[in-house]
A and B are shown apart, each in its own frame.
Chain A
């Protein structure tokens, strides 16, 4: 296979057109990805601020810095902002949008207008959510459970419509990615020669297309329930509140995999690149993504063990829940096997990848406790659950996102991120995260219920440790952002291939030209790193052939 020539020379996408309008009307997937990166990062900081307020309030039992009503709103907003505005769009819509077409060597995603529409739909949905905060912030929890959500007088309708709209943004991204991967792969790239990031984005997109519409109809019914007194979910009108939970979790459990699958894809890329070794068990990792996507649809009832669901349903859901552990474990073992015997290069992205594996394993294994029917009856709605899903979502997705940002930042903006700050940030987030959430496993197993404003005196020590950890985590995230943002001003100019990776995005210049590639290149083997060698002059990798 002849390697495509490194494509340099014409104006990059950042300089291709000037002015704010050239960004707002752009159909370029790279610019849309950058815009997504900005808005999801702002959402992360906003959701993080709510989280710190929640943790600060829990520093002492009873009122510390706010009243109980405010506290209920803070944890609800933390959840809603983090889930709907940040985690779901973060990796697919920001990094995925940027990287996916270049990894395929095409000029754009299949439907560029739909891509831009999805961004503006996101903005519209975010406006609804912000407006609901301004009007009277919701305190239902991010899950909008009825009957409380159908009765209380806060701006639940506005928030629900906001999430309804955000859902379509997610669906359109999914449609775009599936069509692009299916129809626009370069010559020589079969499904089983794709970079693993594409497999995980493909699986994610399938979930986005198949699960999100159910969330849309659920929230539409909830809004109609509130505005027109529909009665389908409201027991006061003869409706069935447990049906709402079935509807909600039919989306929201698969949505957990929308959150973590793209992260797994990023980690597969990072582990292989920085172990300088072919990924171990390629097809197992690829198939496990699809298996997770499919099995994720069959286990939603494990969120409802204590909500009055029938015994039959609970037993079936509990049994099915264990099956999800198999593909997840396959991934972890394959990553470990890839590292074994590799020449591990501890760059900032690799540090994030390692902390992903550590934290995701803890998060995944504690999920098994919760999937066990009788254990869950004790642990349900305690801090154990809170710790479990933060280990998966923050320990998983956030670490993968930061790893991905540090990995692709040179490609996106053409500047090397600050390595020292990156390492410091990886260390601080890892320590801060564990200090925050490990005590919560202990709190939960001792019976501390989640979402409570106050607690018994014996829980105070662990709560205080957790709060301190949250602030360390917050500092770590800020340092992480500073490391990349400051590089825009004084960062070293990035070479085309700083990491010696071999997927197609490293074959075009940093930042890539407006149309990525003039002609679609032939596929490369994304996990064959032998063709590159370190070049001292550019401080990046160059093709061996071009030296000769």
Chain B
């Protein structure tokens, strides 16, 4: 990391010229963004293959993002440290997503086994009975039948389980 070694230099940097965007550049950038939007909408008519479709869409989105960052957000003319912060944050987002992504295959065997025993319901949702943690009860609950699970009041779910909901309406009420 190269930090400025000389304070005099640093203070010169503070007094940079304020950069004013010309109308030509602003409108040109905007037109470029509109063209790229048209391009990405048009691209769904063409099938490049499952992975390539995503790559094409992300490449166009990336190009649009660069236009916005570098020109509308002045990063092209800005101090290096601000550029570093922004793209540094992007790098951390990428690290986060890509390292987590290593782990996507982890539960396939479990998931398949689970799906095999839990057929989807007509509504298209996986419905599972709630499992209650078998915590033994004490004191006042001593009268409970042996083998019966008593759920302490605070552990009962407040949000009803899907299976406990009254018959879910096939058509939900309008949103008002």
Question: What residues of chain A have their CB less than 8 Å away from a CB belonging to chain B?
Answer: 67-69, 136, 151-154, 182-183, 185, 187-192, 210, 214, 226-227, 229, 235-238, 240, 242-243, 246, 250, 290, 297-298, 301, 308-310, 312-313, 316
The CA-CA distance from A309 to B106 in the complex, in Å, is: 6
Binary contact track B78-109/A, C-beta < 8 Å → 1, others 0: 00010000001100100110011011011100
Considering the complex, give the chain A residue whose CB is closest to the CB of B165: A229
6 A-B pairs with least C-beta separation: A310-B106, A191-B3, A236-B128, A313-B103, A238-B126, A153-B158
Please state if B125 and A238 are interface contacts (CB–CB under 8 Å): yes
Chain B neighbourhood of A316, CB < 8 A: 99, 102
Binary contact track B1-18/A, C-beta < 8 Å → 1, others 0: 101111100000010000
Interface segment among B37-45, B52-60, B148-156: the answer is B148-156
Please state if A242 and B157 are interface contacts (CB–CB under 8 Å): no
Question: B82 → chain A, closest Cβ, in Å?
Answer: 10
Please state if B152 and A190 are interface contacts (CB–CB under 8 Å): no
Question: A311 → chain B, closest Cβ, in Å?
Answer: 9
Please state if B92 and A297 are interface contacts (CB–CB under 8 Å): yes
B143 interface contact, C-beta 8 A: no
The CA-CA distance from A192 to B139 in the complex, in Å, is: 65
Considering the complex, give the chain B residue whose CB is closest to the CB of A523: B7
Please state if B102 and A297 are interface contacts (CB–CB under 8 Å): no
Beyond A189-B7, A190-B6, A226-B159, whether A153 also contacts B154 by CB under 8 A is yes
Chain B neighbourhood of A226, CB < 8 A: 159
Beyond A236-B130, A290-B1, A309-B103, whether A136 also contacts B154 by CB under 8 A is yes
B161 interface contact, C-beta 8 A: yes
Beyond A68-B135, A238-B125, A297-B92, whether A185 also contacts B7 by CB under 8 A is yes
B162 interface contact, C-beta 8 A: yes
Chain B residues with a Cβ closer than 8 Å to the other chain, count: 39
Beyond A69-B152, A240-B107, whether A313 also contacts B1 by CB under 8 A is no
Please state if A298 and B128 are interface contacts (CB–CB under 8 Å): no
Q: A153-B155, A316-B99 are in contact. List 7 more A-B contacts (CB 8 A).
A: A152-B157, A154-B154, A188-B7, A227-B159, A235-B128, A243-B100, A308-B106
Chain B interface mostly: loop
Chain A interface mostly: helix
Please state if A190 and B103 are interface contacts (CB–CB under 8 Å): no
Chain B neighbourhood of A242, CB < 8 A: 103, 106-107
The CA-CA distance from A227 to B130 in the complex, in Å, is: 17
Please state if B1 and A308 are interface contacts (CB–CB under 8 Å): no
Please state if B105 and A214 are interface contacts (CB–CB under 8 Å): no
Please state if B155 and A152 are interface contacts (CB–CB under 8 Å): yes
The CA-CA distance from A67 to B154 in the complex, in Å, is: 14
The CA-CA distance from A313 to B105 in the complex, in Å, is: 10
B145 interface contact, C-beta 8 A: no
* A-B pairs with beta carbons under 8 Å apart, 6 shown: A153-B155, A153-B158, A190-B5, A310-B105, A312-B103, A313-B103
Question: A277 → chain B, closest Cβ, in Å?
Answer: 26
Chain A neighbourhood of B110, CB < 8 A: 308
Binary contact track B134-176/A, C-beta < 8 Å → 1, others 0: 0100110000000000001111111101100000000000000
